Amino acid sequence: MDRSNKPSAIGVGTSLPQPSLSIQDNVIEASLPTGQSVKVHLYGATVTSWKANGKEQLFVSEKAHLDGSKPIRGGIPLVFPVFGPPPQTHVTSSLPQHGFARNSNWEFLGKSSSEAPGRDGDRTDLTVKLDFGLSHTMLTEEFREAWPYEFGLVYSVTLTKDTLETALQVRNEGKQNFEFQVLMHTYLNVADISDVRVKGLESKTYIDKVLQATSHVETSSALPITQETDRVYQNLDPAVPVVVTSAKDDQPLFSITREALKDVVVWNPWIEKAKGMADFGPDEAYKNMICVEAGSVSGWQTLEAGEAWEGGQSIKSRL
C-alpha cells in the first residue's frame, strides 16, 4: 500500500474539543463533540452506523453477518470493481456479485480532523475524516487471480455535524489499463416505507431490473415505493440532490449529492425478496429501509496505468 498519501493529522485549534476515536475488534468508531458518530468495520470498510440528531440514519439487518463471513447486509457496503452479477464475457466474470471490496479486509490508514464554517457562519464545526486502504497485495489469492490488476483504493469516511460523506480514490498502480464500476450501496433507515417518496428522478432514464432490465423514463416527481423496486437511474447531474422525503409533510429526510457518480440505484426488496434473503431480518424490515445508491455502473471507467480516479457522495440527514 502506498502510504505516502497517508493523511497527516490536520491540527485543529486546541480551543475545540477533539473528536473521539476508538478501535476495537476491527471496528473504528469516531464521534464529534456535537454528538454525531460513525462506525466502520474494517471488513469491507463498511460503514455500519451513522448517528445524527440522536438517531441512527442507516439500516443494518438484524441478521447481518458481522464476523467477516459474508458482506454486511446494511450500512454502506462498497461495490468495486463490478456492480451486480459480473458479465460472463468480462474480465470480472469470476468475481462475486458486487465485486471484492465489500468482502475484503481493509486497513485503517488514520484519522484527520478539521474545522468547517458552521451553517450559520459565525462558528466553526469540527469534522473528522477516517481513511481506509485496500490494495491488490491485500486481496485473497482467489480474488487476485480473479482480477489480476495492481490497484490501490483509499476510502474516506467524513463525518460532519450535518452530513456523512464517503469518497473513493482508485489508483492504477500497474502497467495495464483496467476498467471498473463503483457504487456506494447505502441502506437508509426510514420509519415507514409507505411514507417515503424519492425526488430528483423525474424524466431520468432508468433500467428496471424487476422488468427484465428494460429501459424506462421516470414520470414521477415523487416516486413512492409500493412493490419490489430495483432501478438504475442513469446519467444524473451529480450536483442535483436526490431527496428522500416524507409524504405526510413533504419534509426531506435525506438529501444525497454526488461527485463523479452519475448513476443512482433505488432498491427495496419488498416482501418476497426480503423473506428470501437469509441475512435480511426481521422479514418486515423492508418497511424500514430504502437503498439509494450513488454509483458509476452504467458503463465502465477505464483507468490507464499510473492514473487515479475519485468519486463520492454526501448525505445530509433529517434536514
Using CB under 6 A, pick the residue from 200, 238, 293, 312 that binds ligand TA6. Answer: 293
d(CA 116, CA 136): 35
Considering the complex, state which of residue 53 and residue 97 has its C-beta at the smaller distance from ligand TA6: 97
Residue nearest to ligand TA6 as judged by C-beta position: 267
Using CB under 6 A, pick the residue from 267, 270, 290, 303 that binds ligand TA6. Answer: 267
Q: How far is the CB of 185 from ligand TA6 (least distance, A)?
A: 6
Q: How far is the CB of 146 from ligand TA6 (least distance, A)?
A: 16
Residues of span 54-83 touching ligand TA6 by CB under 6 A: 71
Residues of span 211-250 touching ligand TA6 by CB under 6 A: 230
Q: How many residues lie near ligand TA6 (CB under 6 A)?
A: 11
| Cell output for 277 | 434473503
Q: Does residue number 84 form part of the binding site for ligand TA6 (CB under 6 A)?
A: yes
Using the Cα atoms of residue 196, residue 198, residue 203 and residue 207 in order, give the sign of their dihedral. negative
Please name the residue that has the C-alpha cell 458482506: 71
Q: Does residue number 265 form part of the binding site for ligand TA6 (CB under 6 A)?
A: yes
By residue count, the chain amounts to 319
Q: Report the SS3 class of residue 275.
A: helix
* 196: exposed, middle or buried (Cβ count in 10 Å: 0-12, 13-18, 19+): buried
Considering the complex, state which of residue 41 and residue 111 has its C-beta at the smaller distance from ligand TA6: 41
Distances, alpha carbon 50 to alpha carbons 56, 176, 288, in Å:
6, 38, 16
d(CA 188, CA 169): 23
Binding positions for ligand TA6, rule: CB under 6 A: 71, 84, 97-98, 185, 209, 230, 265, 267, 291, 293
